[in-house]
Structure 1
């Protein structure tokens, strides 16, 4: 819902007339470049050709097009980013031949129109040479890496929304002109979002009177701005990498350099723990997990009545694989069929658990396993005695939300088959009794990490 409401700004800002030319917009990354601290010394760099290496053409609904999907002016964008950073002095190299031709024209004109032919010719200022070359380009443009939508229509009234994400990737490398060695290589990716919203009404409001209303909008993130932001981010990362490796520094000294490097390493760690679709990646290296949970239990027996009652439990599991765990749990709960039939039970079970998204903060999981169900109530009962034991088999599902590497919350529900008709203290009919439990719990992960175990083997 916030996604849709935030996007509705395009609908309320529809262009109704011609717009005048304006200075191009800053991206968020442009502001970061402008805010960088000044360098100890600016570096002369040459950019010969920073181009689109994808060769990809625009996607259209029907037919074909020779328009490229990525701007062919990436070199100009890179030079502008280098200027904005104030760390580099870009030297004209893309159209070097034009520059040399113009210098030859100046020499020839000055030589021909000297006031005194015996005077020595006036020399031009020497050209700057680059201590470093910047190479690379836009190496990838992936369409429809993520797409989807939602819609509903009832009685002639409906609405729908669609979205699509594309992705570009930029590589930038610094090369020493004195040795030809590659000093540093960085890469940056940027997603491009497109979205559409449609609302329509189609219904008869009276006999032979049809009302039809349609409205909507489409919003596409400009590809040029996405390329610009990716290139600007690559320049920023290149500066941070150079500071980290001691290639260059700020004019504020070592303390400022250390502060920038720490900020960059923190950002880099966060990016490395984020998967393709912007989900945080969790290593889950801890092999042991302890669990405590509280919730409700509900019997499904021969009585028409059935009430939720208290449940508490403890559990432990051992992680065999990131997605697969073997565990055991102990639960104590009441099964309440009627006001008179309200007894305490204890269950012990072994479980095999499969975590569907083991490296995500929010992950669903499934589990199942056999166990023993014990009647733990000494109150009078017609068919049950204290510590009567029954075999049971459970099937459960839930979601786990990680708040840190060691701590996570768990919400789960399970169905338990008892293969017995005495659980509700009324053996009647052909169907066995079942019960359900629902719980909210806390997981604590501990123990040796897999990485440490591998190094010790």
Structure 2
């Protein structure tokens, strides 16, 4: 009972200490506050100043998705994304200090008001002030900004996990949506589309809960539950995507000499270099934050260290050290051939201890050949040879043929260096590995290890460059 209570307390303490939302529950009315900013807002506000701000007109930055907010209770007429994206865009243009936005969304109201001023002045000018000047002309835009919110995809990723033990447990669930916008700049003198940028932003929703249901004494039931749900506001996601689009539009325009940085070419070069690095990273990253890597290297060498575990006729099983080196030849991006040499020790307490060297040949299949993190499968024949040949009992051999298969996971630290972890099952064709013949099952052993792969040569991308 004490152990179970301790487990329950650990679960509850973990919930309270790891979830900041628990201590920030909305128990009172909140006052109005200035709108939130993001990292993109700060970058936009810290951009270098232009030689001359560009006068731009934004007629309407529309919601082009036509989607309504999903509801579990039935249909709803509330839209999935904000209908005020034009106001968000104008605010982003103002924050950047690169553009002078002029009123075009409700220009009819502006023209009506100017007509009222003009007619009022004409009516009362003769009696009050005959020399009163005319209204100044309106600014006209050299560039029009068009586009809109083109997509709002819900539930592109959903999932969760949980565990429960003797009435105590917890679970977590998550959902990811995605909003996509396009923003283009158009020359009012020629109608030419100067630039068109595309930005997407994911929207995360999370739910976390823990509960306890347990009899602590006779007819005494303890029930406790805690949890929270956090939904990223769609409006803030749209705001961040629009601000990122404005930032990209500015840098793309600097690259194409549409506008200039006030500080000179050195700041321009640094701005473009940072943007190109970010763009290259984005081009390698696919939909589900999967980074695309073209690693068509022809050869690689690997070094691994780990442990070996005997599964033989002795009841006690101890782990022994393992060292392995291997060479791999790539055939196609997802398939390669591998040869390896290893040194390891198998032990079963004080009854058995034997050091071996092994040689293996494997065929390897990489499940996700273009991801920075990918699982792989391999298998093939091999042979092992014991090093203390004089201690072998009469009639038995210290060399064995085997088949091995395994699975692993590799993470690319750089384009030519990968970190790997693997687990391997080695099957022998005899029962003499531990020098005891007992039962019908042949001896076998397992290898577990961590290692690195060094890739040699050039990828296809480097060869083309």
Q: Common fold, TM-score beyond 0.5?
A: yes
* Greater displacement, 77-86 / 401-410: 401-410
Alpha-carbon distance, 1:215 to partner: 3.3
What CA RMSD, in Å, does the superposition of the two structures yield over aligned residues?
Answer: 2.7
CA distance in 2: counterparts of 1:425 and 1:267, whole angstroms: 60
- Distance of aligned partners of 1:40 and 1:320 in 2 relative to their CA distance in 1, 3 Å threshold: same
Give 3-state SS (helix, strand or coil) of 2:135's partner.
coil
The reply on whether 1:142 has 2:153 as its aligned counterpart is yes
CA distance change for structure 1 residues 196 and 297 in 2, over 3 Å: closer, same or farther?
A: closer
Q: Does 1:250 align with 2:258?
A: no
Contact 1:53 1:137 in 2 (8 A): yes
Which is worse superposed, 92-101 or 113-122? 113-122
2:60 and 2:135 mapped to 1: Cα distance? 26
Equivalent residue for 1:95, pick from 100, 103, 106: 106
Matches within 5 A, 1:247-396: 247-337=258-348, 341-383=352-394, 390-396=400-406
Mapped contact 2:294–2:460 kept (Cα < 8 A): no
Question: Which of 204, 225, 231 is 2:236 aligned to?
Answer: 225
| Aligned with residue 190 of structure 1, among 198, 201, 218 | 201
What CA distance in whole angstroms lies between the structure 1 residues aligned with 2:189 and 2:228? Answer: 54
| SS at 1:23 equivalent | coil
Pick the aligned partner of 2:50 from 28, 36, 39: 39
Partner of 1:58: 69
Give the equivalent residue in structure 1 for 2:440.
430
Measured at CA, do residues 222 and 184 of structure 1 come closer, stay the same or move farther in structure 2, by a change above 3 Å? same
CA distance in 2: counterparts of 1:444 and 1:117, whole angstroms: 88
Distance in 1 separating the partners of 2:424 and 2:261: 59
What does residue range 95-114 of structure 1 map to in structure 2 within 5 Å? 95-114=106-125
For residue 51 of structure 2, give the secondary structure of its aligned residue in structure 1.
Answer: coil
Q: In the aligned structure 1, how far is the partner of 2:396 from the partner of 2:373?
A: 43
1:192, 1:223 within 8 Å by CA — same for their partners in 2? yes
Q: Residue 300 of structure 1: CA displacement?
A: 2.6
- Structure 1 residue 148: deviation in Å? 2.0
Conserved? CA contact 2:15–2:210, under 8 Å:
no
Residue 385 of structure 1 deviates from its aligned partner by 8.0
Cα separation, partners in 2 of 1:28 and 1:5, compared to 1, 3 Å: farther
Q: Which residue of 1 aligns with 2:3?
A: none
Deviation at 1:338, TM superposition (A): 6.5
The Cα shift of 1:153 comes to 3.3
**Where do residues 189-208 of structure 1 align in structure 2 (5 Å cutoff)?**
189-205=200-216, 208=219
The yes-or-no answer on 1:29 pairing with 2:40 is: yes
Distance, in Å, in 2 between the alignment partners of 1:200 and 1:183 is: 57
Matched residue count: 453
Q: What secondary structure sits across from 2:235 in the alignment?
A: helix
8 A contact 2:329–2:337 mirrored in 1? yes
Match of 2:162 in 1: 151
- Structure 1 residue 451 displacement after superposition: 4.1
Q: CA shift at 1:371, angstroms?
A: 2.2
TM-score of the aligned structures, taking structure 1 as reference length: 0.90
State the distance in 2 between where 1:122 and 1:289 align.
81
**Where does structure 1 lack aligned partners over 5 or more consecutive residues?**
none
Secondary structure (helix, strand or coil) at the match of 1:11 reads helix
* Shift in CA distance, 248/382, structure 1 to aligned 2, threshold 3 Å: same
- 1:140: how far off? 0.8
Gaps of 5+ in 2: 1-10
Change (3 A) 1:308 1:207: closer
Contact 1:149–1:163 (CA under 8 A) maintained in structure 2: yes
The answer to whether structure 1 residue 407 and structure 2 residue 430 are counterparts is no
Q: 1:416: which partner in 2?
A: 426
Q: Show the 5 A alignment for 1:143-182.
A: 143-182=154-193
Asked if structure 2 preserves the Cα contact closer than 8 Å seen for 1:287 and 1:450, the reply is no
Residues 62-71 or 398-407, more deviating: 398-407
